[in-house]
């Protein structure tokens, strides 16, 4: 899955990188610890124009009774996407890219209760282009108001780089796929589905970071600084005071 990422680049730079119009909304603050339910940048085609816009992270389907549904929709698994009720409509018509400067993933450590967080980013430090879906939700009791635009990040199986710490990763689209993915008139779901594959292992690198990133109140560039990973500890058999059987 992808539950935290970094969005620290200025919106004008992001828009230029993705050849998109800059956002009409006020710029978001740089954030090195973007968490679910935050506002995030998305690249989408709106009115025939590629734009950078601000959406809520956590997809709220148009049929939802409450926006709280989005709290569980921060990620969408690529497998079977065209058939899943929460995502199939957006997959057909409302695809987007979520730009990121990197993301975090947590690795289970033998003998330790706490997981080790890692920061994952491109080896060339270019932005990542997460494949995403977006929706517009309207409050049932609102007349002409109560609208919410939201988005989710599509995940797939881990590549060789990511498999060392987790079995899933965000889909990272290459520039050659952006036009097709963002085109709302492209209805060839078989071809689009073939874009939702693990990124080439060579484009990503990662390093362990401090446990501070686990608290959503913490933000700042220091969160991506490399640290020495926590050393593994032996689990003890409390009755005998010896290492427990594996």
Q: Which of 105, 135, 143, 160 is catalytic?
A: 105
- What's the mean pLDDT when you consider all of the chain? 91
Could you tell me the CA-to-CA distances from 44 to 9, 28, 92, 144, 159 in Å, in that order?
18, 17, 14, 23, 26
Exposed, middle or buried, 120 (CB in 10 Å: 0-12/13-18/19+)?
buried
What pLDDT, in 10s, does the model give residues 112-127? 888 999 999 999 999 9
Radius of gyration of the chain (CA): 19
Q: Is the full-model pTM beyond 0.85?
A: yes
- Residue 105 is a catalytic residue: yes
Structural domain for 49, as ranges:
5-243
Question: Which of 172-176's residues contact partners 24+ apart within 8 Å by CB, and which partners?
Answer: 172/128, 172/129, 172/130, 172/131, 172/199, 172/203, 172/204, 173/97, 173/129, 173/130, 173/131, 174/129, 175/129
Let me know if 136 is a catalytic residue.
no
Indicate the number of domains in the chain: 1
Question: What's the CATH number where 135 sits?
Answer: 3.90.1680.10
pLDDT tens, residue by residue, 45-83: 999 999 999 999 999 999 998 899 999 999 999 998 989
């Amino acid at each position: 899955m992808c539950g935290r990422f970094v969005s620290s680049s200025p919106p004008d730079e992001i828009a230029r990188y993705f050849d998109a119009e800059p956002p009409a909304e006020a710029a978001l603050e740089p954030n090195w610890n973007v968490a679910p339910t935050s506002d995030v940048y998305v690249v989408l085609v709106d009115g025939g124009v590629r734009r950078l816009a601000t959406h809520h992270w956590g997809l709220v389907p148009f049929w939802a009774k409450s926006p709280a549904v989005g709290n569980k929709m921060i990620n969408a698994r690529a497998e079977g996407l065209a058939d899943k009720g929460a995502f199939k409509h957006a997959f057909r018509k409302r695809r987007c890219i979520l730009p990121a400067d990197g993301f975090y993933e947590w690795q289970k450590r033998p003998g330790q209760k706490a997981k080790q967080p890692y920061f994952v980013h491109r080896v060339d430090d270019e932005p990542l282009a997460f494949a995403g879906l977006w929706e517009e939700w309207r409050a049932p009791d609102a007349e002409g108001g109560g609208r919410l635009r939201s988005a989710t990040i599509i995940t797939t199986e881990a590549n060789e780089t990511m498999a060392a710490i987790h079995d899933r990763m965000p889909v990272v689209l290459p520039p050659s796929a952006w036009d097709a993915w963002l085109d709302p008139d492209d209805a060839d779901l078989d071809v689009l589905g073939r874009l939702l594959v693990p990124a080439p292992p060579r484009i990503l690198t990662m390093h362990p970071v401090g446990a501070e990133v686990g608290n959503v109140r913490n933000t700042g560039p220091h969160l991506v600084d490399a640290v020495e990973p926590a050393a593994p500890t032996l689990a003890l058999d409390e009755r005998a005071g010896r290492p427990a059987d594996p």
